[in-house]
Amino acid sequence: MGWGEAEAMAMSRQETLANAASLWLERSTLDELIRLLRGEGFTVVGPRLDQGAIVYGEIERASDLPRGWTDDQKPGKYRLENSGGEAYFEYNVGPHSWKQFFFPPRLAVERAKREENGGWTFSRPEPSDERYALLGVRACELAAIAVQDRVMMNGPYVDREYAARRESALIIAVNCTVAAETCFCTSMGSGPRCQADFDLALTETEEGFVLEVGTEAGWEIAARLEHCEASPDQLASADRLRHRAEDQISKEMSNDGIRDLLLNNLNHPHWDKVAARCLSCTNCTMVCPTCFCSTVNDVSELAGDEVERVRQWDSCFNLEFGYTAGGTVRNSIRNRYRQWLTHKLASWHDQFDTSGCVGCGRCITWCPVGIDLTEEVEAIRQQPAKRREVPLPQPRPDACVVPGEAAADQSNRPRSVGQTIDDRQRGASDSAEAQQDASIADGGTDRE
């Protein structure tokens, strides 16, 4: 098809777009969508079968997708299964999350080279110019991306690699039509329906896809696809399947006063019980779509003339992560599990004005011993030790600001050259830890 012809077809489709709330795509159009995105220079990433699971990787055609596959998930267990149907997206979120594309596991952030005169030349690698089209983003994952946006680029310190990758990305969401035993998005208010923050959103039915358009960029893609207005029957069918997913969600976690509940119970005996089970292996933080901690090391070759500063995913469950002058500040599994859970569900609110949990259930499925955070919270809720309101930590001059204040703050505050997102994250977790330490002062130190 030539450009003129394509544009003419797009013009005729505009009328449908202008009038319809939702469009209809035939199932075969999915391949057309992938080809179109690739033709536009996007690297299309989406679900595919690999290593006995549905992971995220590059998608070249619709046949790369896990058509006819689904999964069974329980605490500490994941199994691929035949779905018995023809659907491309009838699975639940798996071991990978989209953060790997915006916040890569390993990244060179700085380089230094010794010159012949003995001096050093410093350089900073340019951010990636890869443009990702994310195909198959679920509602909980849209929420997770929104949380990471706040952390990585909507505050005073912008991670330029994240921002470059994120801002150039196109998001094609897919509404869930099934749910896993580990899903609890309804408790976190993040799903299962995709409400916003997508360019396009699909709901897959037995015959094809109902398509919603979320942005101008999404509109431009939709206009070039073979489509028509979705019929009332097609819309009803999509609605029924979305409700099926919602009905299948059985796990719950009450968020009622959860911040004060956890911060009031830092010495609750239940922390010892969960510490006896926790492996401190980092799996929950690695699979979490919002966890953002990293470590930065300078790596040189043996002669020491070339040095690369490398950022890698790290975890609050690592002993080295809490290592400061004088020792490791979270020197027991109990301290580290408590730090993770109270940060994710409690002090995250103070720091980022949102929960750090989106209810995707990955930390439950991928914990090798099946620890379920909803049960840990519930155990504390059943027998809370204290009830009082925990005051917000006092803001520090260099503490990060909540989104909304960020823009104003950014405009009149010069960004310190040496400060990176990692300084900010370290500062943030310090303040959460300081708050805990203040609360446990009467209970003695937890250092071993």
Partner 1 sequence: MNDSNKHPDQATEAAGLKSRPQAPRLAVFKFASCDGCQLQILSCEDELLTIADQVQIVHFLEASSHFEEGPYDVALVEGSITTAADRDRIRQVRQQSRFLIAIGACATSGGIQALKNWGDHHEFSRCVYAEPAYIRTLSTSTAISEHVTVDFELRGCPINRLQLVEVIQALLRGQSPRTPRHSVCIDCKRRGTVCVAVAQDKVCLGPVTQSGCGAICPSFDRGCYGCFGPAGQPNCESLTEHWIGCGRSPVSLVPLMRNFNADAPAFREEGDRIDPDYDQGHVL
Radius of gyration of the chain (CA): 24
Phi, psi dihedral angles at 396 (to 5 degrees): -100, 160
Indicate whether 370 belongs to the interface with partner 1 (CB under 8 A): yes
- The residue from 1, 19, 232, 302 that contacts partner 1 (CB under 8 A) is 302
DSSP 3-state of 171:
strand
- The residue from 29, 154, 177, 315 that contacts partner 1 (CB under 8 A) is 315
Considering beta carbons, is residue 224 or 270 the nearer one to partner 1?
A: 270
Closest to 180 (Cα-Cα) out of 121, 275, 251: 251
Binding segment (CB under 8 A) for partner 1, from list 125-133, 180-188, 220-228, 362-370:
362-370
**H/E stretch holding 166:** helix 160-167
Indicate whether 335 belongs to the interface with partner 1 (CB under 8 A): no
Indicate whether 325 belongs to the interface with partner 1 (CB under 8 A): no
Q: Which residues inside 62-121 make contact with partner 1, applying CB under 8 A?
A: 76-80, 94-96, 100, 105-106
The stretches of 206-319 forming alpha helices (DSSP H) are 216-223, 232-248, 258-263, 270-277, 283-287
- The residue from 24, 313, 348, 352 that contacts partner 1 (CB under 8 A) is 313
Considering beta carbons, is residue 159 or 314 the nearer one to partner 1?
A: 314
Phi, psi dihedral angles at 343 (to 5 degrees): -70, -50
Indicate whether 375 belongs to the interface with partner 1 (CB under 8 A): no
- Residues 262-301 vs partner 1: string with x where CB under 8 A? --------------xxxxxxxx--xx---------x--xx
**H/E stretch holding 324:** strand 323-324
Tell me the number of residues near partner 1 by CB under 8 A: 48
- The residue from 28, 250, 312, 419 that contacts partner 1 (CB under 8 A) is 312
Cβ burial, residue 28 (10 Å; 0-12/13-18/19+): exposed
Type of residue numbered 233: D
**H/E stretch holding 313:** strand 306-313
- The residue from 70, 148, 190, 318 that contacts partner 1 (CB under 8 A) is 318
- The residue from 365, 374, 429, 431 that contacts partner 1 (CB under 8 A) is 365
Going by C-beta distance under 8 Å and a sequence separation of 6 or more, which residues neighbour residue 260? 346, 387, 388, 389, 390
Indicate whether 366 belongs to the interface with partner 1 (CB under 8 A): yes
Question: Cα 238 vs. chain centroid, distance in angstroms?
Answer: 26
Considering beta carbons, is residue 370 or 393 the nearer one to partner 1?
A: 370
Q: Tokens representing 352?
A: 């980022």
Considering beta carbons, is residue 59 or 263 the nearer one to partner 1?
A: 59
Q: Tokens representing 389?
A: 């309101």
In angstroms, what is the minimal distance from the CB of 2 to partner 1? 40
Q: Tokens representing 431?
A: 């303040």
Indicate whether 50 belongs to the interface with partner 1 (CB under 8 A): yes
DSSP 3-state of 363:
helix
Q: Which residues bind partner 1 (CB under 8 A)?
A: 50-53, 55, 76-80, 94-96, 100, 105-106, 276-283, 286-287, 297, 300-304, 312-315, 317-320, 332-333, 365-370
